[in-house]
């Protein structure tokens, strides 16, 4: 990323989605939703659950796998229908999991002159709806490949927006919208090891939102602020964040 000494740089705050802006993991919640509505088999649901366990334990895994398991279950449905399913999932499941403190924080960032960018490994349609809910200025998420007929193939298009890719995707998005060298990462918000990249590049403040114990210890060691957005809204359980 190019540097610029001007004081008029566009200041950008990057916010993770799963576990940060929203309680829970949209991928596992979506697999349950699809299973309940008859779109996904029990066998595929078990495979997704096993992927989620490996993710939480930090075990090696292929990031495309979970997305392909979900979209493979939707094979035979055109993109418009799949997008409707994902929008319904967001409205019925994820909208109530958006942390009000996240919405207030985005409003505060705007008052401070910052742009807010939602960055997530979740699916594009879900991130789009979430960005609209919190008032973000833009979003980046994992896109799925479509064929010439407009049907999803079940494969990831490009790269899953996970780990270091969150940083590089954010750089590309900001360069495209504000111009190379005309912006900087001011703040970052995340809850998981996969957010270390975006937290590390924040110039003015990095915030670990409702982190697990290991992430909280790492955040303290790096001087990042730990915040409990659930406690702010009075929904924490004995001082603990709701997952």
> What pLDDT score was predicted for residue 242?
54
Count of CB atoms within 10 A of residue 225's CB?
12
Write down the pTM of the prediction.
0.84
Helices (H), 179-232: 196-200, 213-222, 229-232
Architecture, CATH, for domain 10-232: 3-Layer(aba) Sandwich (3.40)
> What pLDDT score was predicted for residue 240?
43
Instruction: Look up residue 69 and give its two tokens.
Output: 């398991």
pLDDT by 10-residue block (mean), the chain, 243 residues: 66 97 89 84 73 66 65 73 92 97 97 97 93 98 82 75 91 97 97 93 96 93 95 52 51
> What pLDDT score was predicted for residue 76?
65
Nearest to 53 by CA among 27, 78, 30: 27
SS3 174: helix
Measuring CA to CA, how many Å separate 179 from each of 122, 129, 167, 184?
Answer: 26, 26, 16, 11
């Amino acid at each position: 990323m190019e540097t610029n000494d001007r004081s008029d740089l566009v200041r950008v705050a990057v916010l993770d989605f799963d576990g940060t802006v929203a309680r829970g993991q949209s991928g596992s919640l979506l697999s349950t939703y699809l299973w309940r509505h008859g779109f996904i088999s029990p066998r595929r649901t078990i495979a997704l659950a096993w992927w989620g366990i490996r993710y939480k334990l930090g075990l090696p895994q292929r990031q495309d796998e979970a997305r392909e398991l979900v979209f493979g279950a939707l094979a035979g449905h055109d993109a418009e229908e799949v997008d409707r399913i994902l929008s319904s999932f967001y409205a019925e499941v994820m909208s109530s999991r958006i942390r009000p403190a996240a919405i207030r924080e985005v409003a505060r960032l705007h008052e401070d002159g910052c742009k807010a960018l939602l960055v997530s490994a979740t699916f594009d349609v879900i991130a789009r709806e979430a960005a609209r809910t919190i008032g973000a200025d833009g979003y980046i998420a994992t896109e799925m490949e479509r064929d010439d007929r407009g049907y999803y193939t079940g494969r990831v298009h490009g790269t899953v927006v996970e780990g270091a890719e969150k940083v590089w995707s954010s750089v590309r998005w900001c360069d495209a919208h504000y111009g190379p060298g005309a912006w900087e990462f001011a703040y970052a918000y995340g809850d998981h090891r996969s957010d270390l990249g975006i937290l590390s590049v924040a110039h003015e403040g990095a915030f670990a939102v409702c982190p697990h114990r290991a992430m909280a210890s790492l955040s303290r060691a790096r001087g990042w602020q730990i915040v409990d957005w659930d406690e702010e809204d009075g929904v924490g359980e004995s001082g603990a964040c709701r997952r």
